[in-house]
């Protein structure tokens, strides 16, 4: 079974607040990373919070179903505290 990586593109806690400044799009760096991982036969699961909300339960379920060992976040300054909170919550359930 090939390894699986979970990548999360977080969004600002209050949807709509910064929409006029940040149009919905996948960061190029994340797209390149996904391409390299797929070329090396590494399965990738992406949660893009612009389109679907990430919950700790959802991530925990994905980790257990796909035997995920690496979770990566893209982080902009506007979402840094949100990502930090998510990481702390995930660390409690997925040490």
Span 4-58, pLDDT tens digits: 999 988 876 555 555 566 655 666 778 889 999 999 999 999 888 877 777 888 8
pLDDT at 1: 67
The H or E element spanning position 7 is: strand 4-9
pLDDT at 36: 94
CA–CA gap between residue 87 and residue 49 (Å, rounded)? 15
Span 50-84, pLDDT tens digits: 777 778 888 888 888 888 889 898 887 777 888 88
Q: How far is CA 57 from CA 14, 50, 87, in A?
A: 20, 18, 13
Q: What is the DSSP letter of 60?
A: H
Contact indicator for 72, 5 with CB cutoff of 8 Å: yes
HEC assignment per residue over 13-34: CCCCCCCCCCCCCCCHHHHHHH
pLDDT at 19: 58
């Amino acid at each position: 079974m090939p390894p699986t990586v979970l990548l999360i593109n977080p969004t600002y806690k209050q949807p709509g607040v910064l929409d006029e400044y940040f149009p919905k799009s996948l960061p190029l760096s994340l797209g390149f990373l996904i391409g390299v991982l797929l070329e090396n036969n590494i399965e990738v699961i992406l949660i893009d919070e612009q389109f679907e909300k990430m919950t700790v339960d959802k991530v925990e379920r994905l980790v257990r179903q796909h035997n995920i060992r690496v979770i990566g976040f893209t982080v902009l300054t506007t979402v840094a505290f949100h990502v930090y909170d998510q990481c702390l919550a995930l660390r409690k359930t997925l040490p």
